Amino acid sequence: MSSQKSIILDLDNTLYDYKSAHEPAIRASEKFLSKQYHLPISRIRAEFEISRSSVKQRLGHTASAHSRLLYLSNMTLGLGFAAQIDLISSAESIYWNTFLENMHLGEGVIEFLSTARHSGYRIVLVTDLTSLVQYRKIKFLGIESLLDVVITSEDCGGDKSTGKPEAYLRSIYGEMNGICIGDGDYDHLFPESTVFYMKGRSSVSNRKISSNFFTNFNQLTKKLNETSNFPL
């Protein structure tokens, strides 16, 4: 087991609120595509969801299965249009630029990460999705200098639900100990040697993982400062 204690963090919907960034982003891209294709937004929305489901089913639990670019490309085929790379690329750029503009770091995140580092924790961010997109989010949120390790599902060949990110970390560090922080069951890596803190939920999870629930990172900073309440 690695002797250094670690904090293993999720990114999406843990360090920031996903919905408040995604909803304006998808609306902006829908509006753009509706104008370009001369179709009602309702049709664009319906076809996009069909495309999204199709891509996820085809690619499974992989980083590329989260790609907005692939959703848009697949949607264009579904609508019967010829390949329009510039248009698809523009729609994807509109989505992510709008997403970033509406993405805000959660309350207390900076103080928590700074305090954890000062306390000797290794800060490891493990996230699904492609590296380029997640790197952009990390840079935009201004937390790059507070992270020791960044692992995406693109690095590992599969999302956290496949177990591949945990296996990849184990190949580097061995069994890791400390805490995991996320908004879903699969964010709990190394469950035999870590304590899991779940963001923004108070119900029993499907996998019945023993979790500590919290709503903002100030609560975790307080626990971190009260050493007896946090794993060493």
Which residue type sits at 27?
Answer: R
Burial 125-145 (b: 16+ CB within 10 A, else e): bbbbbbeebbebbbebbebee
**107 Cα distance to chain centroid:** 17
| pTM for this prediction | 0.90
> How far is Cα 224 from Cα 212, in angstroms, rounded to an integer?
13
For position 227, what pLDDT does the model report? 64
Contact status, residue 140 vs residue 164, Cβ threshold 8 Å: no
Give me the residue spans of the domains in the chain. 5-16+106-229, 19-101
For position 229, what pLDDT does the model report? 54
Contact status, residue 181 vs residue 138, Cβ threshold 8 Å: no
Computed on alpha carbons and rounded to an integer, the radius of gyration of the chain in Å comes to 19
Q: Is 202 exposed, middle or buried (0-12, 13-18, 19+ CB in 10 A)?
A: exposed
Which residues of the chain are modeled with pLDDT < 70? 1-3, 201-211, 227-232
For position 2, what pLDDT does the model report? 58
For position 168, what pLDDT does the model report? 96
For position 204, what pLDDT does the model report? 46
**pLDDT tens for each residue of 108-124:** 999 999 999 999 999 99
CATH of domain 5-16+106-229: 3.40.50.1000
DSSP code at position 227: G
> How far is Cα 63 from Cα 161, in angstroms, rounded to an integer?
11
Q: How many residues does the chain have?
A: 232
